[in-house]
A and B are shown apart, each in its own frame.
Chain A
């Protein structure tokens, strides 16, 4: 069953010279409940634009996006989705505990302290609970962003380059954690990433987007039948 339905969505922006161009051009796709769905494509292809429209932060010029049967950005939908990105930022003077505490309150999570404690342990952030955001390392920030997105146990998790700039060993840990989130909670995950290994490890299906157009939607298993690896697939797809 589709939990996200994108149909005929277009978004135009103006470039520096004032010329209009399509950041997303007549995109349609449906994402199934419980799957990890990756959106791939070169820089500037329109991935973040598409995700921002699913989040309701950006309104499409044309077409519709429904999330859990409601219009994207709908108040009830917002309560059930989480978002984290690898370069997510929070207020510099708040501590990890403060930041997660705010999320707990904003989502009226029951048993807030216990939930936050669980997440701190899950991501190994217990030791920096009282450190201010400014003082965290890149990896700790990325993990905090993930923890933040999970406070309310979302049904859909949007991850925009969740392991951006992380060491290989931390990336591997974070990936395992993402996989565990899906396994444990059955959440649907929408992922964008430039690390093909990551996509190969995590995703069930991939949409390839280039110059705003969705070129292809295929399963990772299907891609592996025709290409030695995802990197190879990516390069071929960009060539067109």
Chain B
């Protein structure tokens, strides 16, 4: 992996954002509106269930953060495909690993900026959040690692399946979030789903996040393990899928 190739890609990304400034609005729109909705709800819920309000607010922040991380990387790739510039990028000697790493860097920077804003707003609604900020930041890092791992796998899937499957760039995460039991313990699921849930990327993160906000002790072991496991598995899978696309001809006709 050569840093100058990644720097060139990041330079290109920065130019695209500079040439179309409304993008910043697009990135912020859903996260900020959603943290506002749940922020107000948490204020309202103080009259009947403090905990429900806190859990909804916190989990929604993690959800949006995960979504921005994964979708930024994959939507950038879809844009490279839609604009027909993926071929030119790859022929400029950018390898598949350099390509996806550059997407991950942009996605990480973008999603961390959005996260900082969301936490800032949440603190206005729930000043007590500042007591658990450390744990929240830790869990966010695992969330980031998991969502980038999914971005790597989804990039590989789109390359192999072709651009008509591009919709998974903005839909796949929803299924992972659902199966990760966002607002409720995974034991709420019927048993087969419960088993699946155990192995989902965000299950343990959400579980600990729910503990954190109500002041219970938290354990980082399982969240760390599951997010790292996803990240480690994502790479060989990605390289395998990319190679498959080179063999099947899908890569050559992606655009």
Contact = CB atoms under 8 A, between A and B. Distances in A.
B85 A106 contact: no
B194 interface: no
B251 A89 contact: no
B118 to A, nearest CB: 27
Contacts of B20: 93
A107 B80 contact: no
B94 interface: yes
Contact of B92 (A11, A73, A92, A103): A103
Interface bin, chain B: 20 to 34
Contacts of B79: 91
Interface residues of A, number: 36
B22 to A, nearest CB: 11
A186 to B, nearest CB: 21
B240 interface: no
A161 to B, nearest CB: 14
Interface in A16-54: 48-49, 52
B252 A102 contact: no
Contact of A58 (B9, B11, B91, B252): B252
B93 A106 contact: yes
A91 B125 CA distance: 41
B187 to A, nearest CB: 46
B16 interface: yes
Interface stretch (A75-83, A204-212, A232-240): A75-83
A59 interface: yes
B137 to A, nearest CB: 33
Contact of A102 (B11, B95, B249): B11
Contact of B85 (A56, A57, A61, A89): A89
B88 interface: yes
Which secondary structure dominates where chain A touches chain B?
mixed
A231 interface: no
Given A57-B252, A58-B246, A90 B7 contact: no
A89 B92 contact: no
A213 B64 CA distance: 53
Contacts of A81: 91
Nearest to B2: A75
A55 interface: yes
Interface of A: 11, 13, 48-49, 52, 55-59, 61, 73, 75, 78-79, 81-83, 88-95, 98, 101-103, 105-108, 132, 148
Interface of B: 4-5, 7-9, 11-12, 15-16, 19-20, 79-80, 83-85, 87-88, 90-95, 243, 246-247, 249, 251-252, 255
Given A91-B79, A105-B7, A107-B93, 7 more contacts: A57-B90, A58-B246, A59-B243, A88-B84, A103-B92, A106-B93, A132-B19
